[in-house]
Amino acid sequence: MNEESNIPAEEQIAAHRACIDEIDQQLVSLLNKRAEHSMAIRALKPQVGAGLYDSKREVEIMGKVFAANQEANGPLYNDHVQDLYEALLRVMKEIPLS
């Protein structure tokens, strides 16, 4: 039997939410680091004659995150990961360069 079954549901929910809050803080930090690298790449692209959109790179990214998702063996389907990353990539393109 699960040890959590002896703990009131309200306490379990609070504990799960505290974990989610901590993960959210880590995600925001990582997303900002990713954005900094994305912006640096965008600033360098004109020097090599590259455009903003690189479909080959986006396919490469999806392949890598799908592989990471499979390795993680979590509850997310690749379709979910794709939805998240499509939104992430769109936002990264919209961030103005300083």
Average pLDDT, the chain: 94
Q: How far is 21 from 17, CA to CA, in rounded Å?
A: 6
Residue 88 CB partners (closer than 8 Å, separation 6+): 31, 34
- Show Cβ contacts of residue 30 under 8 Å, excluding neighbours closer than 6 positions: none
Q: pLDDT digit string (tens) for 16-50?
A: 999 999 999 999 999 999 999 999 999 999 999 99
pLDDT digits (tens, 9 = 90+) for 46-65: 999 998 889 999 999 999 99
Domains of the chain: 3-94 (1.20.59.10)
The structure tokens listed for 2 are: 């699960």
Q: What's the rounded Cα separation, in Å, for the pair 83 and 24? A: 18
When pLDDT is cut at 50, 70 and 90, the band that residue 2 belongs to is: low
Residue 56 in tokens: 């080959």
Q: Cα–Cα distance between 82 and 37 in angstroms, integer?
A: 20
